[in-house]
């Protein structure tokens, strides 16, 4: 039979009837699957509800021990794979839309897209659990391995978003998170997920006990293993918390917090001169307590004031207005005087800034003018602050300058150090737009960069190229205090949620690089939402993982201190609350220096990588057994068309 005859046969009425019967059968199967789909969504909805209860600012962590049980039971018991995968994706998307709603004021499109992407990990975990179940492996073991593997992937893929790990719910249970210095936060997630898996296995085994003689064997073994793990977690936590001999007093640190919410459209927030003056006024109060280091937040008053930039001609920087250039110089001059304790020089700069300010803005300030610092001056202090930085490359055609999100240090003599830290891990679309100078297979993708830049809420329709460049390494600064030199690192904003960044600051293999960390952040973009306490909770794990104390200076909060065991102390509060409008102040405390070792700090994500390896075996096994072998069996068993046989 020729190929043309086969093609005509495929288009025959008989073939059309076959197609009609095929789709009719599919529709009938879908109708029959409707009760199962509704039941799956109901169980998944219960998980979404319980899962959403465990993260800050809510104080409830106990539901974390059972929140994934309904979904896990439904994943295993539902026969139709398409219901499990699509239902899991839908449940995951709803979960992230609920718990990442603080992103909506910044970028509605990015909020929906991020939730869509993160939801993909729910069916991915379900796939591993179902594959393991077919191999007679209980969800008591497969659930914690698969879920931790997906958390690890979320921390790296698409630049990483390690937010809302199930283990983060236990950040205030200090005894339970001490294992983080062995396994990272992933170990805490694993312990919590093991409880979920054991409970799910008891439900599944109980439902099948009539058809299985020793139905209780697997759940009983899993329960014993779970109890043993939690006993080890408790014992290790008690042991670590009892160690005090290697912890000593370090330098005295001041952290400053103002309350300036930000938006993504002009004028973006409070007038910059007001921000500048109020932060300096609050910093002067903190400096009066004579700290060894005074920390101000990330991009604290929106100036570009690195000395390299201030030494070049303004004309060498594209899109740099005379007013912005002058503002950077004024901020540099005032902060230099502040570090020396020369407050009269600071007040002269403030008076100079007042002249061009709109009258209505000044009228809203107490006394009708910018706040002033005490005329008698103050003690000299080393100042750390976040600022934009610019490096100029006049010999290049594009770009002629690079912008960085930086941490700058002013010494007590008013000198700004040449050494600075440029943020290493930038936020996609928040701090940079992809494909600015990237090529794929030799093709220039700058056209895609221009398109994406126009879609960004920060580019004003593509008229501004706001993308920054990542720093080249993890810079540590020296601090002279108490007769010795301390070293500290400065993860900026979102970097403190990335495990590898804090590790990079503190550890270089077995060698400790930093004695403590100072996280400077500007969470004003997220108003007074749940992002603030969630951000703080994640930072707690960085302290325990690396056995290092952390001071946090954050616009809108939460600012304060975390010791190397993960305890929170000296938090900026107002009327007993850490969150909400008007929480303004400073805290001064002595940082504790921890001399203990950290296995996780020296080795990294070995535990999560092991979980990923085991999960990958499940995924590959499913592809081979269910897809490749399945397609082969269908092809071999496919009946030969009777009409074609007669023709032959």
pLDDT (0 to 100) of residue 213: 62
pLDDT mean over 545-568: 97
CA–CA gap between residue 124 and residue 104 (Å, rounded): 26
- Is 26's pLDDT higher than 70? no
pLDDT mean over 523-535: 92
What φ, ψ does residue 641 adopt, rounded to 5°? -55, 125
Task: Measure CA 625 to chain center.
Answer: 36
The Cα-based distances of 409 to 293, 339, 414, 488, 594 in angstroms read 10, 10, 10, 12, 24
pLDDT (0 to 100) of residue 21: 61
pLDDT (0 to 100) of residue 645: 44
CA–CA gap between residue 238 and residue 408 (Å, rounded): 39
Confidence band for 648, pLDDT divided at 50, 70 and 90:
very low
Confidence band for 29, pLDDT divided at 50, 70 and 90:
low
**Quick check: 547 and 564 in contact, CB under 8 A?**
yes
pLDDT mean over 439-453: 75
Say what percent of the chain tops pLDDT 70.
Answer: 88
Q: For the chain, first and last CA: distance in Å? A: 7
pLDDT (0 to 100) of residue 17: 59
CA–CA gap between residue 81 and residue 452 (Å, rounded): 36
Q: In this predicted model, what pLDDT tens digit does every residue of 594-622 receive, in sequence order?
A: 999 999 999 999 999 999 999 999 999 88
Average pLDDT in the chain: 89
Q: In this predicted model, what pLDDT tens digit does every residue of 159-191 receive, in sequence order?
A: 899 999 999 999 999 999 999 999 999 999 999
* Higher per-residue confidence, 494 vs 217: 494
**pTM attached to this predicted model:** 0.90
Q: In this predicted model, what pLDDT tens digit does every residue of 87-129 receive, in sequence order?
A: 999 999 999 999 999 998 888 888 999 999 999 999 999 999 9
pLDDT (0 to 100) of residue 264: 75
202: its two tokens: 């008891």
The Cα-based distances of 221 to 128, 198, 551 in angstroms read 21, 9, 44
pLDDT (0 to 100) of residue 6: 44
**Quick check: 123 and 117 in contact, CB under 8 A?**
no
586: its two tokens: 């400073």
Give the closest residue to 303 by CA, choosing from 401, 384, 386, 387: 387
Lowest mean pLDDT: which of 11-15, 120-124, 185-189, 484-488?
11-15
- Is 373's pLDDT higher than 90? yes
Confidence band for 201, pLDDT divided at 50, 70 and 90:
very high
- Is 646's pLDDT higher than 50? no
């Amino acid at each position: 039979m020729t190929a043309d005859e086969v093609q005509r046969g495929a288009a025959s009425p008989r073939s059309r009837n076959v197609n009609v019967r095929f789709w009719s059968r599919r529709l009938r199967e879908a109708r029959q699957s409707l009760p199962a789909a509704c039941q799956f969504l109901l169980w998944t909805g219960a998980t979404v509800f319980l899962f959403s209860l465990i993260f800050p600012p809510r104080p409830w962590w106990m539901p974390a021990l059972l929140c994934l049980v309904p979904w896990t039971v439904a994943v295993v018991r539902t026969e139709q794979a398409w219901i499990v995968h699509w239902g899991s994706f839908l449940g995951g998307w709803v979960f992230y839309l609920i718990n990442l709603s603080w992103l909506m004021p910044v970028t509605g499109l990015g909020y929906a897209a991020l939730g869509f992407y993160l939801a993909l990990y729910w069916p991915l975990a379900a796939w591993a659990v179902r594959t393991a179940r077919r191999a007679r492996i209980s969800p008591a073991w497969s659930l914690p391995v698969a879920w931790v593997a997906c958390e690890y992937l979320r921390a790296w893929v698409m630049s990483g978003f390690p937010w809302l790990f199930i283990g983060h719910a236990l950040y205030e249970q200090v005894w339970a998170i001490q294992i983080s210095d062995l396994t990272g936060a992933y170990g805490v997630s694993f312990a919590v997920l093991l409880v979920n898996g054991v409970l799910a296995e008891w439900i599944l085994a109980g439902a099948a006990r009539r058809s299985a003689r020793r139905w209780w064997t697997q759940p009983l073994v899993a329960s014993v293993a779970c109890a043993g793990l939690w006993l080890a977690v408790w014992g290790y936590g008690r042991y670590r918390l009892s160690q005090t001999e290697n912890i000593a007093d370090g330098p005295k640190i001041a952290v400053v917090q103002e309350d300036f919410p930000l938006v993504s459209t002009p004028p973006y927030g409070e007038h910059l001169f007001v921000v500048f003056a109020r932060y300096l006024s609050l910093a002067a109060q903190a400096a009066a307590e004579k700290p060894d280091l005074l920390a101000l937040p990330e991009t604290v008053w929106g100036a570009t004031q690195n000395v390299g930039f201030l030494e070049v001609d303004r004309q060498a920087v594209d899109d740099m207005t005379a007013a912005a250039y002058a503002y950077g110089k004024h901020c540099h001059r005032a902060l230099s005087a502040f570090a020396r304790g020369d407050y009269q020089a600071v007040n002269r700069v403030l008076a100079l800034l007042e002249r061009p300010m709109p009258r209505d803005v000044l009228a809203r300030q107490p006394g009708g003018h910018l706040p002033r610092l005490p005329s008698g001056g103050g003690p000299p202090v080393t100042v750390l602050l976040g600022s934009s930085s610019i490096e100029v490359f006049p010999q290049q055609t594009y770009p002629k300058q690079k912008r960085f999100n930086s941490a700058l240090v002013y010494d007590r003599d008013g000198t700004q150090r040449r050494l600075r830290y440029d943020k290493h891990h930038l936020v996609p679309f928040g701090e940079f737009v992809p494909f600015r100078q990237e090529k794929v297979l030799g093709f220039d993708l700058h056209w895609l960069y221009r398109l994406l830049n126009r879609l960004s809420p920060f580019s004003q329709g593509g008229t501004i190229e706001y993308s920054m460049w990542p720093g080249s390494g993890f810079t540590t600064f020296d601090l002279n205090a108490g007769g010795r030199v301390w070293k500290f690192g400065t993860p900026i904003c979102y970097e403190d949620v990335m495990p590898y960044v804090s590790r990079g600051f503190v550890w270089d293999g077995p060698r400790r690089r930093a004695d403590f960390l100072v996280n400077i952040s500007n969470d004003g973009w997220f108003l007074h939402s749940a992002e603030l306490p969630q951000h703080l909770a994640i930072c707690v794990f960085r302290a325990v993982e690396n056995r290092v104390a952390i001071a946090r200076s954050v616009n809108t909060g939460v600012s304060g201190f975390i010791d190397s065991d993960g305890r929170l102390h000296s938090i900026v509060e107002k009327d007993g609350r850490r969150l909400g409008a008007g929480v303004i102040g400073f805290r001064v405390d002595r940082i504790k220096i921890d001399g203990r070792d950290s296995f996780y700090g020296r080795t990294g994500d070995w535990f999560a990588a092991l979980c990923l390896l085991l999960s990958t075996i499940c995924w590959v096994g499913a592809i081979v057994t269910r897809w490749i072998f399945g397609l082969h069996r269908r092809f071999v068993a496919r009946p030969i068309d009777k009409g074609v046989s007669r023709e032959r």
